[in-house]
Structures are given as C-alpha cells and as structure tokens.
Amino acid sequence: MIKKIFLFTLLTFLLIGGCAVSISYYFLHQFAKQSIHVTDDNKMFILKKGTSLHQLVSQIKESKLIDKAYLLPYLYKLDPAYSSIKAGTYLLQPHMTVEEFLKLLVSGKENSFSIQFVEGKRAKDWLEVLKNTPYVQQTLAGKTNQELAQLLGIEGSIEGWLSPNTYLYSADTSDIDILKRAHKTMKSNLQKIWNKRDSDLPYQSPYELLILASIIEKETGLSSERANVASVFINRLRLNMKLQTDPTIIYGLGDNFSGTIKRAHLTDTNNPYNTYVIYGLPPTPIAMPSLASLEAAAHPAKTNYLYFVATGFGGHTFSDTYAKHQQAVNEYRKRKGKN
C-alpha cells in the first residue's frame, strides 16, 4: 500500500513538473515571438564591449524595448546560443521579434553607416562634414592642419590628398581612420594615373599633376570638357604663360572672399595662389579632385587652345587666339545682359 502511495505521489509530482516545464516553455516561446518596441525605421541599438547579461537586461528595461525583459535569462537557459552576443551598433527593424533581436546581437552584423566626400570641395569642408557625422569617434578636435597632415603621413598641406568617394564605416570608427582610407585611395589612384600619363607633359612630379587636376575640377563640372580644360592649362605651361584661373585666386583669399573677384584681386602679389601674377602652378591643390579630373590632367586633349570662357549655358567656349577669345567673351556678356 505504501509503495502504491509513493508511486502515485511520484507520478503526480512528475506530472505537475512536466506540466510546469511545458507551461514555462510555452510562455518563453511566446515571449520569444513577441515584437520589440520599434517605431523608428532608423532605430539603433548600441551594445558596448564587456556588457554582461545582467547589464543587457537593464539596458533593455531602461529603453523599454522589450516587455517582460526579466524573462531573457530564462530564454538564454532554454537556448544558450542566445548568450553569445557581440558588441556593436545594430539597426532594429519595426515588428522585429525578441528572437530576431537576439539573433542579430549574436550574428555581430553591425549596421554600416556612410559618409560622402564630394569632389571639388576643400579639406576644411570635408572636416566640417566629418565633425557632424553621427557615430564617428571624434579625435581631431583642436588639431592644427600641420598636426593632421602628420597623422596622415602627408608632407605639407592635406588639400587635394583625399579621394572623393562614399565611405562605409561602423559605429565608433575614428575620424582619422576614415581620412586615412581617403588618403590611401588618393595616393593609389594618383600613382596609377601618373604611371600611365602621356609622356610629353610639363610636370615634374605626381604632386604637380594633382594640383592641376584640382584646378580642372573647379573650372568645369562637365565630363566632356575636362580634357579640353586640361589642354588649355598644359598649353599655357608649355609656353610659360600665366594660368590666369579664377578658382586659384578665390582659394588664396580664403574666408576673405566676398563672392566677387575684384580688379585688386588680380594684381594682388601677396596672394601666392594668384595665377594672374605668378607663373606656373600654385603651391598646393585648391580642392579635392575627382578621378575624372586626374585622368584629364594625365591625358589632356591635343589642342591649340589657350583660352576658355563660360557660354552661359553651363559649358565653355574654347579659343586658340586672344582675338577669338575676346569675341567669345563679348558674346557671353551680351547673352548675360539679356538675362
């Protein structure tokens, strides 16, 4: 009799225990399938290095991301694979479940961000963009241009030495690391183009090609014109003519430029970038040139052009004599006066 009672009691406890396990499993399964609270399409979840399970639960509770977050440790016990979370910055999707959220943390697939460096802009413009880009670790505050050049391994100015492009990065990537990638790309591109340049160009170094490419970049935005613009400056360099290009003057004026080039600017001998006064190239690039402008500087069109002026329609008229150039200037002025 006692044996039967014992067996009955044991079976009862086993049954109750089995039911409890089944009920627990059911509720944990339901918990894993519930949606997390995400309303923003660009909601980020940042998991720092060294975050423990307890700290993760606390972080989730504070962010109100998951209802009944206290159940997470039990879910980990049910499936230990969920506990192998990796630090990073993750993009959360609306209607994502708790299970999908945990799998994302385990996968380590961080969200990638992007920063665009536009061709034709100056180094200071790019630095301003970089300073205001989210999820970038800012390390360059207070650094002088000389200190920045040293960090990048550049002798002299950093102007022109960074390649325009869209760069992907993960959260907490440092600003200097992004700039190093841009510099490495420009160095590589410049060397490849220099090695394949036309053989009869009046350059003494790849840096001089880089300088002219930056001028081409500022003079035209039309890909069909770059080679012709390059030919004008190459022809002038060969003839020892002054380049007489306005963008160099503007660059030399810096923050003092008011928006209009005045006669006094054309005769200013204190501006080392005044190509109406100096012969040859300015001392540094004046912008970040595109790959297309580098190619144009390396392979200019074969022309006799020495002048060009805006047409008023987005392009330029090219001339091989001053008389033709003056005619093109007069036509531009007439057209401008009618508008």
Query: What are the tens digits of pLDDT across the range 208-252?
Result: 999 999 999 999 999 999 999 999 999 999 999 999 999 999 999
Tokens of residue 192, six digits: 């490849």
Query: Does residue 2 surpass a pLDDT of 70?
Result: no
Measured CA to CA, the distance from residue 129 to residue 139 in angstroms comes to: 14
CATH code, 31? 3.30.1490.480
User: What pLDDT is stored for residue 301 in this prediction?
Assistant: 97
pLDDT in tens, 62-102: 888 888 888 888 887 777 877 788 888 888 888 889 888 88
| Beta strand ranges found along the chain (DSSP E) | 44-47, 88-91, 113-117, 136-137, 165-169, 173-174, 307-310, 316-319
Q: Note the pTM of the prediction, 2 decimals.
A: 0.83
% of residues, the chain, pLDDT over 90: 60
CB 29 within 8 A of CB 79: no
pLDDT band at 309 (very low <50, low <70, confident <90, very high): very high
User: What pLDDT is stored for residue 322 in this prediction?
Assistant: 95
Residues 41 and 82 in one domain: yes
For range 5-15, the mean pLDDT: 48
CB 98 within 8 A of CB 33: yes
CA angle 315, 289, 222 (to 5 degrees): 15
pLDDT in tens, 168-208: 998 889 999 999 999 999 999 999 999 999 999 999 999 99
Sign (positive/negative) of CA torsion 109, 113, 114, 115?
A: negative
Helix or strand holding residue 177 (H, E): helix 175-195
% of residues, the chain, pLDDT over 70: 91
Measured CA to CA, the distance from residue 215 to residue 306 in angstroms comes to: 15
- Tally of domains in the chain: 3
Looking at 173, 189, 205, the residue that finishes a domain is 189
Owning domain of residue 321 = 196-338
User: What pLDDT is stored for residue 25 in this prediction?
Assistant: 61
Residues 242 and 277 in one domain: yes
Query: Does residue 338 surpass a pLDDT of 80?
Result: no
Looking at 136, 169, 189, the residue that finishes a domain is 189
Residues 210 and 309 in one domain: yes
Looking at 142, 174, 189, the residue that finishes a domain is 189
CB 177 within 8 A of CB 248: no
Residues 210 and 332 in one domain: yes
Residues 131 and 96 in one domain: no
Residues 20 and 79 in one domain: yes
User: What pLDDT is stored for residue 5 in this prediction?
Assistant: 55
